[in-house]
C-alpha cells in the first residue's frame, strides 16, 4: 500500500483508487488539491537560500531551501519540479531572501524584484550583449509574470556568484540566486516573483551589515507579503 507521504510527495492523483489518497476530490486523475490545506500551502512554493534568513518563521509554509549561488538554486528548484513531472502543483513561486542595494534602497526595506539579469555573464568579446547568455533565445533580462505583487516597487535585481562589496551605482538590488530561480520558472512556465530584505549597501561594509541583519526581515515578509497572499486567495 502506498503511503500518504509518498502520494503527497508525488504531487498529483494517479486516479487508481489508492486507499491513502491525500487529494480532494479523491481518485481524480491529475488532481493536485491536497485535503486540509489552505490555498497558499497547496499552490505557492517559497524558495530561500538559507534557513538563517527565515529564523523558523515559515514552518507552516511549503519552503524549499537551495543553498547559496546560482548553481545550487538551479539544481534544487529543477530537482523539486522534476518530482512532479508535468503536474507541477504551484500557481506561484516566491523567492524570499536578503540582498544588497548600492544606492536605491535603505537597510531594512522589503522590496519586490520583478526584473532579473545575470550580472556576472559577460561575453562581449564574442559580440554578445552584456549579461546575455550566448547561443540562446531567452532575453538577458527575465521579467516576472506574477500577477501578485503587494509592494509594487518593481525593482531590477542583478544576480551573480559573488558577494558584492563594490558595484555600479545604477544597479538597484544585488543577490546570488534570484535570476537562476526566475529562469527555471520561466522554462517551466510557472509564475515567479522575488521579495528581498535589504541588509546592506553592497559596499565595503556589506559583510558586517549582512551578518547583523540577515534574520531581521522575515517578519516583515510575512506581514507585507504572505498575509496579503492569504487574503488574496
Per-residue pLDDT band for 41 (boundaries 50, 70, 90) equals low
Whether pLDDT at 7 is above 70: yes
Whether pLDDT at 13 is above 90: no
Whether pLDDT at 39 is above 50: no
The domains located in the chain, with CATH, are 1-36 (no CATH), 38-232 (3.40.50.1580)
Q: Could you tell me how many residues make up the chain?
A: 233
Percent of the chain with pLDDT over 70: 91
Whether pLDDT at 33 is above 50: yes
Percent of the chain with pLDDT over 90: 58
Please tell me the distance from the alpha carbon of residue 86 to that of residue 82, in angstroms, as a whole number. 8
Specify the pLDDT at position 86: 80
Q: What count of other Cβ atoms lies within 10 Å of the Cβ of residue 136?
A: 8
Taking each continuous run of H as one helix and of E as one strand, the counts in the chain are 7, 8
Mean per-residue pLDDT, 92-101: 94
Specify the pLDDT at position 165: 66
Is the pTM for the entire model greater than 0.85? no
Residue pair 160/174 in contact by the 8 Å Cβ criterion:
yes
Specify the pLDDT at position 103: 81
What average pLDDT is seen over the chain? Answer: 88
Mean per-residue pLDDT, 47-65: 93
Specify the pLDDT at position 126: 96
Per-residue pLDDT band for 5 (boundaries 50, 70, 90) equals low
Amino acid at each position: 500500500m502506498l503511503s500518504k507521504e509518498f502520494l503527497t510527495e508525488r504531487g498529483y492523483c494517479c486516479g487508481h483508487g489508492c486507499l491513502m489518497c491525500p487529494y480532494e476530490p479523491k481518485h481524480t486523475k491529475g488532481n493536485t488539491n491536497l485535503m486540509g490545506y489552505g490555498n497558499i500551502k497547496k499552490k505557492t512554493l517559497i524558495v530561500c537560500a538559507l534557513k538563517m534568513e527565515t529564523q523558523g518563521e515559515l514552518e507552516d509554509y511549503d519552503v524549499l531551501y537551495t543553498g547559496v549561488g546560482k548553481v545550487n538554486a538551479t539544481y534544487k528548484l529543477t530537482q523539486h519540479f522534476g518530482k512532479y513531472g508535468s503536474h507541477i502543483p504551484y500557481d506561484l513561486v516566491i523567492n524570499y531572501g536578503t540582498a544588497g542595494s548600492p544606492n536605491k534602497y535603505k537597510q531594512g526595506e522589503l522590496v519586490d524584484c520583478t526584473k532579473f539579469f545575470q550580472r556576472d555573464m559577460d561575453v562581449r568579446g564574442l559580440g554578445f550583449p552584456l549579461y546575455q547568455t550566448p547561443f540562446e533565445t531567452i532575453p538577458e533580462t527575465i521579467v516576472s509574470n506574477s500577477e501578485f505583487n503587494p509592494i509594487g516597487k518593481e525593482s531590477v535585481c542583478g544576480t551573480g556568484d559573488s558577494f558584492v562589496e563594490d558595484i555600479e551605482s545604477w544597479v538597484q538590488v544585488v543577490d546570488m540566486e534570484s535570476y537562476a530561480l526566475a529562469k527555471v520558472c520561466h522554462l517551466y512556465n510557472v509564475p515567479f516573483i522575488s521579495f528581498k530584505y535589504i541588509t546592506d549597501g553592497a559596499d565595503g561594509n556589506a559583510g558586517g551589515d549582512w551578518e547583523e541583519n540577515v534574520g531581521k526581515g522575515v517578519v516583515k515578509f510575512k506581514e507585507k507579503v504572505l498575509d496579503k497572499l492569504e487574503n488574496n486567495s
